[in-house]
């Protein structure tokens, strides 16, 4: 009977070790997915910033060309209008960057929660395997 108990205990120990191993592997995958998601978000942010900057610069160049064609290059109101458009464009880009920053923070917090939750659940499962 002692041999049977030892075999049963060994089985429980192996089951709990497997539970812990699965938890570690799950956490590795969560971290890997987090890194991939953050890199994707960074590329999206860079592409968005470049696109909006190019559009803004094209609009400003067109405006300068129209003003110069009319012979109003020294007109203060035309210059002020260009500066307002530039300000609004760069403000829009900065707001987008802030939104991406908030997404980074949210992703990081969610990932930390998933990893901690997964670790706690893995430990509980391993403990339950031992106690059964």
Helix crossing, 2-69 with 76-131: angle to 10°? 180
Give pLDDT, residue 7: 55
Instruction: Name the one residue in this structure whose structure tokens are 């997915």.
Output: 33
Q: Give me the average pLDDT of each 10-residue run along the chain (132 residues).
A: 54 76 91 95 96 92 80 69 90 95 96 92 82 73
CB 130 within 8 A of CB 16: yes
CB-based contacts of 13, cutoff 8 Å, min separation 6: 130
Closest CA to 79 of 95, 93, 90, 68: 68
What's the predicted TM-score (pTM) here? 0.72
């Amino acid at each position: 009977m002692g041999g049977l108990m030892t075999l049963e205990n060994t089985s429980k120990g192996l089951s709990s070790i497997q539970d812990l191993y699965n938890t570690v592997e799950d956490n590795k995958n969560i971290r890997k997915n987090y890194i991939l998601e953050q890199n994707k978000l960074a590329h999206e942010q860079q592409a968005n910033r470049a696109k909006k900057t190019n559009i803004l610069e094209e609009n400003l160049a067109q405006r300068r060309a129209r003003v110069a064609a009319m012979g109003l290059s020294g007109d203060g109101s035309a210059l002020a209008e260009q500066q307002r458009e530039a300000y609004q464009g760069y403000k829009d880009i900065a707001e987008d960057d802030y939104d991406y920053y908030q997404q980074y923070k949210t992703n990081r917090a969610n990932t930390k929660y998933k990893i901690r939750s997964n670790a706690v659940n893995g430990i509980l499962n391993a403990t339950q395997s031992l106690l059964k």
